[in-house]
Structure 1
Amino acid sequence: MNVTLLIVIVYIMLLYGLAWYSTKLKSGEEIVEEFFLADRGFPAYIVAAMLTGLAVGGASTIGVAESAYTQGISAGMYNAAWAVGAIVVGFTAASRLRDLTVTTIPELFGNYYDEAGRVIAVIGQIIIQIVITSLQYIAGGAILASLLPELFSVNMGALLTAIVLGGVALIGGYWGAGLTNLINVIVIYIGVIIGAIMSISKAGGISNIVANLPVGLQWFDPVAGVGIGIIIAWFIVMITQTHSTQAVVQISFAAKDGQTAKRGFILGGLIILPIGFICALFGIVAAVQFPGLEDPAMALPKVILNLPAIISGLTLAGLWASSISTTVGLLLGSSTLVVNDIWKNYIQTDITQKQEHIMSRIVVVVITALTFLLAITVEGILDTLLIGLTLTTAYTVVVLFTIFAPKLCKKSAAFWTIGTGIIFLFVWVFVPAIRIVSHPIFLAWPIAIGTFLLVSMLDKTPANIPNEVVESEST
């Protein structure tokens, strides 16, 4: 049997086995909270594994190697930005977010601000997460198609990716996601480290690689290739989105307590930090071994295919694990938004725990199918839609004011801040004349803060923020 295929089969069996085992960890009392938040019982190491699994996806592996093929080691700063974002949240907001005891960001907005804020928050969050989920299917499909071309096209690989991650989420819920991500992170690191070491050795070692790299670029400079402006934008975007993207914040909601959330986010950031630079090495090796690639996205697969079968199989499992690990968290985050903030509030307000549990599983299946269809039908516009991550700026501004300056929060602040952010991004995409900076994030922050403070001055109705939050901020 094909060694690479055997590794993939064993890996899938391991993931499903862990998802099944996770069902034995449930108390059976609050079944819906268990499905979406693991009964708020994650220890710090599972928090770290969930966060790392979410961060290290196709963009952090294949995408980084693609950039490194032409821009050098500085492409790894993408993951460094993710890591810093996680660590900043750990030191600033993770424990406070956990102490709020809510399930979603829109729920927080609905409870503290108004229903209009909740509705617009749900719309934006779902769009962001569904787009990113679809991108992971594409990445997973590309990995399988590159390394097992006799068995998979990109679409067939994306389908298998969707089936595996949908099954893990459906069977194990958030506990299943946590345990499988723990294994995913281990597989990712084993695969890419062994693959990087072997690829460097096969290319004649670092000294030979340096001697044969194309001239004109500082290949091992951490900034020069990508450029300081883009790197600053990466850091701002990542620090922003880690404070308010549902899939990220939901991890802190699932921690045992505030201190566990804090430790888990800091540990997760430290684990995330090196993976981008390791993957960037694949791109640099490819620049020596395969100069002139028409599609730089093939840099990493080309290098891996040049390795012995067992090594390429391990590396494949690691890379595919990156797509699986990211998508399970995103899928459950999107399902949480649909069930908690749409179905329970506007469709079936008298839903029972048993009905909600059934609906949670149905929504997982539906979103898995929808995101797969998006991945195979509208791939051409996904790069444009990725700019939607900048929308998290508006969410982050509202969240930070809520937990650090609640006295400035007014009832309509969430609606207007997020609404203005959506309008700004729409104009940025369709009216190029306003692009006076290199990345929309540089305008998104002042617009969001300005909108929030303007509403704070004009709206005379305070937000409905609990006294304990206000007192905590005062303390």
Structure 2
Amino acid sequence: MVEITGYGVAVIAFLAVSLIVGTLTYKLVQKSGRRLIVAGKSLPLFMVGTMLVAQSVDGNSSLGAIALIYQYGFWAGAVIPIGLGVCLLMTGAFYGKKLNKMSMFTLPDYYFRRYGNASEGISGILMIISFVVLVAGNFAASGFILQTVLGIPFLLGIIIAALVVLTYTIAGGLFASAYTDIFQIYLAIGSFWAAFLFFAGGFSGVPFDTILASAPPGYLDLSGLFDTANGALINWAGILALGLGDIVALDFMERVFAAKDSKTVRRGAFMGAGLTFFTVLPVGMLGIVAFHFLPGLEDPYVALPELALNHMPFAIGAAILMGVLGASMSTANGGLLAISSVISRNILQRVIRRRLLGKESWSDSKLLTITRLCVIPVMVAALTLGYFMPQPGIYLILAFDIVFAGALAPLTLGLFWKKANMPAAVVSLIVGTLLRLLMFFIVPPEWAGLDTMIPPVISFTLFIIVALATQKKWPGKERHDVNDYVPPEEDLISGEDLKHFRANAHGSV
């Protein structure tokens, strides 16, 4: 029997507000696929920075990180916000400005423009798989919150969260994310700090040093970074997979493309990085607090909601629950939209419709309709995975392991090395990914982490070797002028945008 408490009322109200605000952004889409996917490339700094941190501080990096800390120690979960913060720093410093100037809808657009259809199709499939895993983790986190707060079955909880996200993703696309993130993510960050200060200040009735002393040996020292017996390899693998692999992130890059200019991207990425790093201490310490107050939990993924319900003041506990739920839905929203955009634009429109069938591209309004329809099966796939294998936190690292192994080298070397070419990209994508899969089965548990670290190194090495060996037949581009990236397809970029980019090109993207 469902018993609605004050916490339940707060969570239900929060879901309702998110649904209403997100759905009202329907009017901003204006029957345009471009506006649904990248908000018409119009978003200002505050929205871009907020959306980037919202994709970092989600259910995986909060509820999932606390569950990992509860089981394995501080660094096991802290690597998630640390890695994501590093990714945003890298994006701001090296990648964001170049990619924003290319006026793309999706990240596979880059692989098409630089390397052609084969690379576009392979990278698109890898990113779809990666992000279904990511969205599954956030649906699972939302399901755990609703299950614990409302006393409903986990399946019902995950379905409710998924339907809310589905509705406003179809309605407003990236605009829905922009407007709901504003109240969702700052509530999450503020509530993490309020909860941490509540326990650190001894207001729980237990001195904080007593809480810290209850942690097992190795939970709070640096052995998690330097001792392989305490998971150092796995922890560094997590930092690398997120810090570098997350650069090849559909949702991050969707926001990079949506920023109104390259200066906004740079500042927004640094803003997002700062706010993400700001969550490392409170999230990490809440994992230790949960270990003290909730010993012997059968399911560590309910550690945070149980802590919020039973060991915090109502105001802080309710804010935590709403904040984690909102953060999870925010990333799920961005992920659903990003995956659906790749399916509709890159796989269905360009690879299948144009390349294989030789038909004309869809109009902007037709792309809008197809993208919205694609959201539904993507939601079902992520919900199914999240229900049968609910592992927030682990899913986040796994998601970017996939693209870290094969897709990072073609993106990075394509941007910064003029000899990058199609054969190198295809080999890197295929071999890097297959090697990661193979190493999953052959690397012994005591060396876990190497299966994440080794494939990208080989992928980069093979890319360079193949590119140099095939330059005569497939020469790389001599320069990275804006016009080099504009393919002879009317569907990639509007005439108005093309005039704008040519007028503002200064020789280097």
TM-score norm. by structure 2 comes to: 0.85
Matching residue of 1:180: 180
Q: Within 1, Cα distance between the matches of 2:53 and 2:68? A: 21
Q: Which residue in the other structure is 1:320 paired with?
A: 325
Residue matched to 1:46: 47
Is the 1:159–1:372 Cα contact (8 Å) retained in structure 2?
yes
Query: What is residue 490 of structure 2 aligned with on the other side?
Result: none
Distance 1:93 1:452 in 2: 19
| Pair 1:454-2:465 in alignment | yes
Q: Which aligned pairs between 1:84-103 and structure 2 lie closer than 5 A?
A: 84-103=86-105
Instruction: Verify the 8 A CA contact 2:64 2:392 in the aligned structure 1.
Output: no
Runs (5+) with no aligned partner, structure 1 = none
Of the structure 1 ranges 224-233 and 89-98, higher mean CA displacement relative to structure 2 is found in 224-233
Q: Is the 8 A contact 1:411 1:461 kept in 2?
A: yes
Could you tell me which amino acid in structure 2 is paired with residue 2 of structure 1? T
State yes or no: 1:251 paired with 2:255: yes
Q: Distance in 1 between matches of 2:116 and 2:219?
A: 52
Instruction: Count matched residues.
Output: 469
Q: Does 1:468 align with 2:481?
A: yes
Paired residues of 2:188 and 2:327 also in contact (CA < 8 A): yes
Query: How far is the alpha carbon of 1:436 from its aligned partner?
Result: 5.9
| 2:403 maps to 1:392 | yes
Deviations 1:165-191 (A, max 9, x none): 111211111111111112111121233
Secondary structure at the aligned position of 1:103 is classed as coil
Aligned to 1:144: 146
Aligned partners of 2:322 and 2:362: how far apart in 1?
41
Aligned to 1:205: 207
SS of aligned partner of 2:450: coil
Amino acid aligned to 2:40: D
| Residues 1:206 and 1:99: Cα distance change in structure 2 (over 3 Å) | same
Mapped partners of 2:444, 2:507: distance in 1: 41
Distance in 2 (CA, whole Å) between partners of 1:444 and 1:294 is: 35
Q: Which residue number in structure 1 is paired with residue 246 of structure 2? A: 242
Cα distance in 2 between the residues matched to 1:117 and 1:42: 29
Deviation string 1:209-261 (CA, Å, 9 cap, x unpaired) is 23x51453353659569654334322221222232121211111111011111
CA distance in 1, matches of 2:396, 2:321: 27
**Percent of residue pairs bearing the same amino acid type:** 20
Are residue 363 (structure 1) and residue 395 (structure 2) matched? no
Aligned CA distance change for structure 1 residues 428 and 473 (closer, same or farther; 3 Å): farther
Matches within 5 A, 1:19-418: 19-26=22-29, 28=30, 31-74=32-75, 75-149=77-151, 152-200=152-200, 201-210=203-212, 212-214=213-215, 216-217=217-218, 219=220, 223=224, 228-306=232-310, 307-345=312-350, 346-347=352-353, 349-379=360-390, 387-393=398-404, 394-405=406-417, 407-418=418-429
Q: Is the 8 A contact 2:134 2:396 kept in 1?
A: no
> Aligned partners of 1:60, 1:442: CA distance in 2, in Å?
21
For 1:110, the aligned partner's letter is F
User: Structure 1 residues 106 and 49 mapped into 2: Cα distance closer, same or farther (>3 Å)?
Assistant: same
Asked if the contact 1:411/1:464 (under 8 Å) is kept, the reply is no
Q: Distance in 2 between matches of 1:250 and 1:107?
A: 11
CA shift digits 1:367-425 (9 cap, x unpaired):
112321232245589968953522322222111112111x2112222211101112112
**TM superposition shift of 1:38:** 0.3
Secondary structure of residue in 1 paired with 2:304: helix
Deviation at 1:36, TM superposition (A): 0.2
Residue 162 of structure 1: how far off its partner (Å): 0.3
SS in structure 2 at match of 1:202:
coil
In structure 2, how many angstroms separate the alpha carbons of the residues matched to 1:62 and 1:473? 46
- Do the aligned partners of 2:414 and 2:420 also contact (CA within 8 Å) in 1? yes
Mean Cα displacement is larger for which, 56-65 or 162-171?
56-65
**Residue 349 of structure 2 contacts residue 361 of structure 2 at CA under 8 Å; is this kept in 1?**
yes
Matched position secondary structure for 1:461: coil
More off after superposition, 128-137 vs 340-349: 340-349
TM-score where L is the length of structure 1:
0.90
The whole-number CA distance in structure 2 between the counterparts of 1:129 and 1:218 is 31
Query: Match for 2:20: what amino acid?
Result: G
For residues 289 and 21 of structure 2, the distance between their equivalents in structure 1, rounded to whole angstroms, comes to 35
CA contact (8 A) 1:428 1:435 kept: no
- Structure 2: which amino acid aligns with 1:118? E
Task: Say which SS state the counterpart of residue 387 (structure 2) adopts.
Answer: helix
Task: Return the letter of the residue paired with 1:84.
Answer: V
What is the Cα deviation at residue 437 of structure 1?
A: 6.3
Distance 1:294 1:365, change over 3 A: closer
CA distance in structure 2 between the aligned counterparts of 1:276 and 1:372, rounded to whole angstroms: 28
Q: Secondary structure at the match of 1:440?
A: helix
Preserved contact between residue 233 and residue 448 of structure 2 (Cα < 8 Å): no
Change (3 A) 1:419 1:316: same
1:25, 1:206 → 2: CA distance? 48
The one-letter code sitting in structure 2 at the alignment partner of 1:180 is T
Verify the 8 A CA contact 1:38 1:175 in the aligned structure 2.
yes
In the alignment, the residues of structure 2 paired with residue 464 and residue 245 of structure 1 have an alpha-carbon distance, to the nearest angstrom, of 25
Deviation at 1:350, TM superposition (A): 3.7
Deviations for 1:136-171, whole angstroms, at most 9, x for unmatched residues? Answer: 11111011112221xx21111110110111112111
Q: CA deviation at 1:278?
A: 1.0
1:50–1:329 Cα contact (<8 Å) kept:
no
Amino acid at match of 2:329: I
